[in-house]
Amino acid sequence: MKNNLAKDMVFVRLQGRTKEAVINEMLDRLSESGKLPDRRAAYRAVMEREAKMSTGLNNGIAIPHGKTATVDSLVACLGVSEHPVDFASQDSQPSRVFIMTLSRPDKTGPHLEFLAEVSALLKNEEKRTAILAAATPDEVLRILNG
């Protein structure tokens, strides 16, 4: 995770209260950072994936993601919301931790490895609780990498 998630890609205190609002907020921040060359294509990719099947998992976690040829390599960010958001999750519980990835359609390895790593980390209830309480991106990264 250390290689794919930099401090400027961790967003605490997301304000969105709907699935689409959270996705847009995260895409806006990615776009502002210069890591997203084509925000429209990224939005389309993520929403097409959501239309196939929701990316809301269990335990308050959602992993909105998509594939687009407009990125050169894996783009990843993590957001934490102050508000529970209905993401049509597997356990019917709202989500507060969001891991978004965008990757090229022809490169599945890094994308799958990153999602597997994140999923394994966030199965730990102590880490999830600590991430929800974290006030800064540095704290979130310390929890994830600790």
Q: Give all domains of the chain, ordered by start, each with its CATH number.
A: 7-145 (3.40.930.10)
Cα of first residue to Cα of last residue in the chain, in angstroms, is 11
The answer on pLDDT for 66 being more than 60 is yes
Do residues 93 and 87 touch, judged by C-beta distance below 8 A?
no
Please tell me the pTM assigned to this model: 0.93
* Helix (H) / strand (E) containing 67: strand 65-67
Q: What is the pLDDT of residue 55?
A: 93
- pLDDT tens-digit series, residues 77-127: 999 998 999 999 999 999 999 999 999 999 878 878 888 887 777 789 999
Q: How confident is the model at residue 146 (pLDDT cuts 50, 70, 90)?
A: confident
Q: Mean pLDDT across the chain, nearest whole number?
A: 92
